[in-house]
Structure 1
């Protein structure tokens, strides 16, 4: 089998349309069609079939595409072992804004410096949007999150790689009086999350407008405190959440180690904890494609350095200034 024909088939499985394959490989759609047709004749099997105005892989085509990814990855590995060309291509990633800022942009910088043949295209999406795009073949990697109290549901067709975990806290107006916030000595202040939320049962609450993960976690803790929060505001931007809290229009979850605006107080939540967990999700078998495998590995490495840095800061503690 001609590896280049396998490449056309593998890219069709990854990108979902002949036009996108043609754009990626800088050829015409006619060339893509002809090469895949030639591969099918060589193997005496039908690899594609009509799907409206487009085409889709047949079951045999999908199976061969999986083999193609393995074969092409082996060829890439052999080339690297012999000191030949570096892997190259365009990897499309969809992720949530905070994850893109914290983890993906540093990876983009490293790729530009060390792997210029690999290009990253970035789409900002909340997890449900990113997972839908991954399932549709529109992206190569989804950078998503869930909360430990509301785990992400995934299909067997994907591979999930844990990146980092971050504690979230309850953001409330700093000016809230003693009747609203009962002072609890440290470290006991971090002991009872339901009791912390219960103090704000009569307040309005702010949750994400494009994902229900934080709302699900919030409702679970509130149920332990025997109340149902009044969801009054939905905002995708954490800056907007902080503005609403500062203005006295509600309370909501915020990163426990993040910077907050003057006028906001963070109350720890640890029993049970409100832990945000970030993941890299790919379609099963697709990380045999060298550029995608490299991007995922770099994300894991950067997440490990992020975690080590936070641990070092907590261990060292604050310094006098």
Structure 2
């Protein structure tokens, strides 16, 4: 079987439609359909099945797409070995949390556009659980996730996880409270705010786990009144008297909001690059991974 036909099948498994495959591979939808039909005859199994007005991969088609990853990566690795100057080419699908995308993925996309124009990055904003779910179903190639040192994520043996960077987080409070609280240890700060409303994350429970752990150590159970995953909205809620909540220490704040450092214990967000095992040998993905920032 020709590797070009495997490429059509693999891109269909990633992108979900023949039109999208045709756009990425700069061909026509009829060519995509024809090449996958020839591949089905070569393998002797049905690779596609109807899905409303569209088609989707059969279980056999999905298994062959899995093999295609390994086969095409090996072919590409051989090509690079024979011609080290050869340029990687392909579309890397990335899903990650908003601040991580801004910090890490957008600069990488800019570098690729300037230095490796044949490698394209598509970006979707998702919280860790959402991104990992898409990674497991092969809807993306790279998940940018995070956890906290006080709320570590559970390891998934089917995924390769690469630590990237860690960032200290503090407790954001109205500026009027900052002066009397500044300089106190974490548990003293939490105890002083035990009667306040607290702001959690609407799409990830790790923030509330961290707050709940520290509040428990300080002798109370926090009352979560608001939830938001947009950090600017968290600030606005704090400024409006909606409570207090976690924010990165480096986050640019409003004049009426202060982020207090937390010490003893501290709170650190830890960022990770997650891929399906064996996929990071694919040259376009390997290139992206190599450009991501680390500690």
Normalising TM by the smaller chain, what interval?
0.7 to 0.9
The alignment partner of 2:177 has SS state of coil
Residues 37 and 65 (structure 1 numbering): CA distance in 2 closer, same or farther, change over 3 Å?
same
Q: Tell me, yes or no, if structure 1 residue 133 matches structure 2 residue 134.
A: yes
8 Å Cα contact 2:178-2:258 kept in structure 1: no
- Partner residue, 1:317: none
- Partner residue, 1:316: none
- Partner residue, 2:78: 78
Task: Give 1:176 shift.
Answer: 2.0
- Partner residue, 2:265: 272
Q: Distance in 2 between matches of 1:100 and 1:177?
A: 30
- Partner residue, 2:41: 41
Q: Distance in 1 between matches of 2:281 and 2:220?
A: 48
Task: Give 1:295 shift.
Answer: 1.0
Q: Tell me the number of residue pairs that the alignment of Structure 1 and Structure 2 aligns.
A: 294
Q: Distance in 2 between matches of 1:287 and 1:135?
A: 14
Q: Distance in 1 between matches of 2:167 and 2:263?
A: 12
Q: Distance in 1 between matches of 2:157 and 2:29?
A: 32
Q: Distance in 2 between matches of 1:37 and 1:154?
A: 39
- Partner residue, 2:145: 144
- Partner residue, 2:96: 95
8 Å Cα contact 1:66-1:285 kept in structure 2: no
Q: Tell me, yes or no, if structure 1 residue 229 matches structure 2 residue 222.
A: yes
The alignment partner of 1:145 has SS state of strand
- Partner residue, 1:293: 286
Gapped regions of structure 2 (runs ≥ 5): none
Cα distance per residue 1:295-321 (max 9 Å; x no partner): 12211xxx22xx3xxxxxxxxxxxxxx
**TM-score when normalising by structure 1:** 0.80
Task: Give 1:36 shift.
Answer: 2.6
Task: Give 1:2 shift.
Answer: 0.9
Q: Distance in 1 between matches of 2:36 and 2:171?
A: 55
Gapped regions of structure 1 (runs ≥ 5): 308-321
Query: Where do residues 205-284 of structure 1 align in structure 2 (5 Å cutoff)?
Result: 205-284=198-277
Q: Distance in 2 between matches of 1:142 and 1:68?
A: 21
Task: Give 1:115 shift.
Answer: 0.4
8 Å Cα contact 2:178-2:260 kept in structure 1: no
Task: Give 1:161 shift.
Answer: 1.9
Task: Give 1:271 shift.
Answer: 3.3
Q: Distance in 1 between matches of 2:60 and 2:137?
A: 19
- Partner residue, 2:21: 21
The alignment partner of 1:175 has SS state of helix
Q: Distance in 2 between matches of 1:55 and 1:156?
A: 31
Task: Give 1:169 shift.
Answer: 0.9
The alignment partner of 2:139 has SS state of coil
Q: Distance in 1 between matches of 2:19 and 2:251?
A: 43
The alignment partner of 1:4 has SS state of helix
Task: Give 1:293 shift.
Answer: 2.0
The alignment partner of 2:117 has SS state of coil
The alignment partner of 2:103 has SS state of helix
**TM-score when normalising by structure 2:** 0.86
